[in-house]
């Protein structure tokens, strides 16, 4: 694979159980690219994202992400592969029984971190990156939705992932907060991280244009390919 390609999807069919959701999926994503994945509810955005983090197995075609072939990937390899990918959801999925630092440290420990000083300094670094330097000791319920999503972004960045997969990360947020989240995600691409963000929020992709991949009628329409054809 060319080394500036972070995701290579070739002739993939996306299934949910026995149902074919998307067919003939061919997408290349480069290092540092920001991509909106759009389409109506039920069009297959979440299913495609799930395939990218090996929650739905690749049966037809192939997917290489962050240097790993997902077809035939063994169950025990999946956690290692997921360390190279950051995942963000609409509902934040924080642990509500512990503070922000403890949320981050929980994931660090689960992914093999041991040195307490390193974990503490990584917490500081990540919280400063998402503009939450003073919130490490707060409980998630003391934070606004936008702040909780920024904690989720910090958590996704713990192991310096090559790719961030964000499934409707602004779905629970007001328009101004949504803009902040998109700007923060876009900033990550300056450091070489690729971001795939599923959304159906027109306001965002009109205000902050980027490559658009659309799920429609069981297939993919890629703005970068369409532009090349024009």
Residue (186 or 200) nearer to ligand ADP, CB: 200
170 touches Mg ion (CB under 5 A): no
φ, ψ of residue 178 in degrees (nearest 5): -60, -45
Cα–Cα dist 121/118, whole Å: 5
* Residue 52 binding: pick among Mg ion, ligand ADP, none (C-beta 5-8 Å cut-off by kind): none
Q: Pattern of binders to Mg ion over 40-59, x per CB under 5 A? A: -----xx-------------
Q: Which is nearer to Mg ion, 132 or 181 (CB)?
A: 181
Residue number, 46 or 178, with CB nearest to ligand ADP = 46
* 180, 186 contact by CB (below 8 A): no
Binding to ligand ADP in span 192-221, by CB under 6 A: 215
| Binding-residue pattern over the window 18 to 57 for ligand ADP, x denoting contact by CB under 6 A | -x-x-----------------x-xxxxxxx----------
Site string for ligand ADP, 67-86 (x = CB under 6 A): --------------------
How many residues does this entry show for the chain? 230
Q: State the nearest-atom distance from the C-beta of 7 to ligand ADP, in Å.
A: 17
Cβ partners under 8 Å of residue 207, min gap 6: 179
For residues 163 and 66, the answer to whether their CB atoms sit within 8 Å is yes
In whole angstroms, the minimum distance from the beta carbon of 217 to Mg ion comes to 17
- From the number of C-beta atoms within 10 Å of its C-beta (0-12, 13-18, 19+), residue 66 rates as middle
Q: Total binding residues for Mg ion by CB under 5 A?
A: 2
3-state secondary structure of 75: helix
Neighbours of 36 (CB within 10 A): 23
Instruction: Say how far apart CA 204 and CA 116 lie, in whole Å.
Output: 39
Residue 212 CB, nearest distance to ligand ADP (Å)? 14
Tell me the CA distances in angstroms from 83 to 19, 169, 219, one per residue in order. 29, 19, 29
Q: Which residue is nearest to Mg ion (CB)?
A: 46
Site residues (vs ligand ADP, CB under 6 A):
16-17, 19, 21, 39, 41-47, 215
Site residues (vs Mg ion, CB under 5 A):
45-46
């Amino acid at each position: 694979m060319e080394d500036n390609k972070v995701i290579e999807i070739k002739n993939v069919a996306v299934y949910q159980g026995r149902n074919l959701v998307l067919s003939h999926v061919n997408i290349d994503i480069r290092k540092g690219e920001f991509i909106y994945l759009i389409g109506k509810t039920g069009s297959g955005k979440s299913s495609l994202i799930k395939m990218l983090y090996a929650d739905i197995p690749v049966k037809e075609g192939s997917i290489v992400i962050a240097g790993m072939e997902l077809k035939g990937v063994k169950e025990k390899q999946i956690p290692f592969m997921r360390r190279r990918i950051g995942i963000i959801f609409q509902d934040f999925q924080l642990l509500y029984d512990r503070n922000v630092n403890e949320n981050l440290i929980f994931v660090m420990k689960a992914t093999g971190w041991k040195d307490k000083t390193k974990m503490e300094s990584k917490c500081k670094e990540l919280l400063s990156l998402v503009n939450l330097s003073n919130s490490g000791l707060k409980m998630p319920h003391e934070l606004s939705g936008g702040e909780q999503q920024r904690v989720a972004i910090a958590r996704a960045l713990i192991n310096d992932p090559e790719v961030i997969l964000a499934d409707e990360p602004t779905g629970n947020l007001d328009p101004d907060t949504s803009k902040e989240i998109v700007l923060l995600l876009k900033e990550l691409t300056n450091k070489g991280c690729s971001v795939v963000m599923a959304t159906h929020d027109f306001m965002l992709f009109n205000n902050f244009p980027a490559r658009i991949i659309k799920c429609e009628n069981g297939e993919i329409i890629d703005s970068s390919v369409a532009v090349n054809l024009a």
